[in-house]
Structure 1
Amino acid sequence: MPCSIVTGDLFAGHDAPGHPECQARLDAALAGVPAGARRIAPERATPEDLARVHTGRHIEGIRSFCRECPPGRARYLDPDTYVTSCSFDAALYAAGAAWQAVERALSGEHSFALVRPPGHHATPDRAMGFCLFNNAAVATAKALREVDRVAIVDWDLHHGNGTQAIFYGSDQVLFCSVHQAGIFPGTGWPEERGAGPGVGYTVNAPLEGGSTGADYALVFREVFVPALRRFDPDVVVVSAGQDALFDDPLGSIHLRPEGFGALTGMLVDATPASLALVLEGGYGRSHAGAIGAIVAALDGARFSPAGGGEKASTRHLVEAYASRRDAVPL
């Protein structure tokens, strides 16, 4: 299947130079996109699209806070998360681009929305962790108007607490997250499995610092891929944060760029559903290499993860899932 890239210059208005989540890091990531890749301009989501997963008070609060920003300056919602006068508009384009990627995936084409600000920490009523609105969740909720099942795989260094919270009670969304244990936002433990009809449809794999591509591949092979095959999604959304790279300043996971290509290939091969990737984190110098490996895997290349053997803690985690037949949807 061909791969399309949804991106544009519209995200530069949301920028605080020197902050880890700035326009320079998107520019660096885009350097990994092959020159001949099909690029599609992003389109705006509407406030009604956001309202599928966010409260009206949250949406209006962000809009108002942005309007009050002096031009060219950033204001902070919390110690990590800022807005500028242009951030609300940039966030609408980020959520809209995520939906465009999902829409193309539903038509049978892999697609990657390279956008900012990121989204997976945004809960229904709160911006946090650099995120204003939950791009992947907005796109997923919109997709559920047309299909019955959406799988979200989140391989960002940090747990996607916002996405988990939004779909925690749903059996229409399978949420699988692999992340570094014990860091921001402090959630994402195996015991967090969903609620009501959604029990078993949240699958968390917290890994120790120092984990490598071998650990990630083990989790995908033994936990995520079997869950995806049982769930049989109509589309797979990937919260693609590459801050688990070995040189990323925000964590201590040691994936190499080709490791992300390996994970992408495993997802492509796991299900006939197409992939819609949405950029989350990623701040290291090798980010462009990871983007290049992901796009190559979407176009048919296959990679092997580097890093030697798996950690004992990762094997124990996988064994614990295997021993709990109700831990993943059957």
Structure 2
Amino acid sequence: MPYSVVTGDLFSAHDAPGHPESQARLDAALAGVPADARRIAPERATVDDLALVHTERHIEGVRSFCRECPPGRARYLDPDTYVTAGSFDAALYATGAAWQAVERALDGEHSFALVRPPGHHAAPDRAMGFCLFNNVAVATAKALLSIGRVAVVDWDLHHGNGTEEAFYTSDRVFYCSVHQAGIFPGTGWPEERGAGPGAGYTVNVPLVSGSTGADYALVFSRVFVPMLRWFEPDVVVVSAGQDALFDDPLGSLLLLPEDFGALAGMLVDATPAPLALVLEGGYGRSHAGAIGAIVAALDGARFNPAGGGAKASTRHLVEAYAGRRHAVPL
């Protein structure tokens, strides 16, 4: 199956040098993309696209705050999340690129949107955690206008609280997240399973500090992959944050770059549905290596997760979920 990369230089309008989420980190990540990869320029999302997930008050609040920014200066929406005069447009291109990746996947091609700012923490009514608008959630909501089911797999170090909230009551989106337990944003516990028609369609697997690729691989092979096959999505969207890497300054998980290639390969092989990946976090020096491994997996390479066994705590969680999936009302 062919693959493409959606990216460009439009995201540099949202930049605060020295902040962990800066243009420098995207530039570093792009070093992992092969020179012969097919690159597609991002297209701008519309305000109507954002409104599929976000409130009008939130959209206009971010736009107004950006307009008030002095040229070349950043202003903060909260202690972590900044905007500049160009952030609103950059965020529209990030959301638009996420939709392009989904479109290409629906056309039968794996696609990776390498964008910023990231999105999975952005709630319908709030920016947070470096995220202004929820790129994956908007692209998913737009896809649901024409298809039946979307699976969202979030392997970022942090729980994607905004994406979970957007689809918590939906039985058309299967949201599954593996992340480090107990860190920002403080959500993503096993008890969060969805509500109403969406009960059972949210799966959270929080891992303890020091977990490795072996733990992630066990979660994927025993929980996520069987559930994806059962759900039979029309497309699989990945919140691809590589901040679970061993050298990432924001967490304490210990994945190696090739572990992300192993995870991507497992998802490629799990269902006939192509993958649409959207960049979330990733701030360490080995990030480019992880991007390279992911792209290689999209191009047909397969990786084995790093050696060693999964932690006992991970095995206990997996055993609980392996029994639970038979009660999901699909």
Secondary structure of the 1:222 match is: helix
Residues 325, 294 of structure 1: CA spacing in aligned structure 2 closer, same or farther, 3 A cutoff? closer
Secondary structure of the 1:324 match is: helix
* Matched letter for residue 161 of structure 1: N
Pairs within 5 Å for 1:79-118: 79-118=79-118
Question: Is 1:119 aligned with 2:119?
Answer: yes
**What residue is the counterpart of 2:255 in the other structure?**
255
CA distance in 2, matches of 1:66, 1:26: 21
Residues 251, 329 of structure 1: CA spacing in aligned structure 2 closer, same or farther, 3 A cutoff? farther
- Asked if the contact 2:227/2:325 (under 8 Å) is kept, the reply is no
**What residue is the counterpart of 1:297 in the other structure?**
297
Secondary structure of the 1:262 match is: helix
Pairs within 5 Å for 1:117-266: 117-266=117-266
* Matched letter for residue 169 of structure 1: T
Pairwise CA RMSD of aligned residues?
0.8
Secondary structure of the 2:91 match is: helix
Secondary structure of the 2:165 match is: helix
- C-alpha deviations, 1:230-279, integer Å up to 9, x for none? 00000000000000000000000000000000000000000000000000
TM-score by length of 1: 0.99
1:323 to partner: Cα distance: 2.9
1:152 to partner: Cα distance: 0.2
CA distance in 2, matches of 1:281, 1:325: 29
CA distance in 1, matches of 2:327, 2:166: 19
* Matched letter for residue 271 of structure 1: T
CA distance in 2, matches of 1:236, 1:329: 20
Deviating more after overlay: 259-268 vs 314-323: 314-323
* Matched letter for residue 101 of structure 2: A
TM-score by length of 2: 0.99
CA distance in 2, matches of 1:147, 1:108: 14
- Asked if the contact 1:122/1:129 (under 8 Å) is kept, the reply is yes
- C-alpha deviations, 1:133-168, integer Å up to 9, x for none? 000000000000110000000000000000000000
After the TM superposition, which parts of structure 1 deviate over 3 Å for at least 4 consecutive aligned residues? 325-330
Residues 2, 316 of structure 1: CA spacing in aligned structure 2 closer, same or farther, 3 A cutoff? same
1:2 to partner: Cα distance: 1.1
CA distance in 2, matches of 1:283, 1:34: 20
**What residue is the counterpart of 1:66 in the other structure?**
66
1:327 to partner: Cα distance: 5.7
CA distance in 1, matches of 2:234, 2:37: 25
Show structure 1 runs of 5+ residues with no match. Answer: none
Secondary structure of the 1:15 match is: coil
Secondary structure of the 1:32 match is: coil
CA distance in 1, matches of 2:195, 2:65: 33
CA distance in 1, matches of 2:159, 2:231: 21
CA distance in 1, matches of 2:137, 2:328: 20
Secondary structure of the 1:284 match is: coil
1:307 to partner: Cα distance: 4.1
Show structure 2 runs of 5+ residues with no match. Answer: none
- Asked if the contact 2:260/2:294 (under 8 Å) is kept, the reply is yes
- Asked if the contact 1:154/1:176 (under 8 Å) is kept, the reply is yes
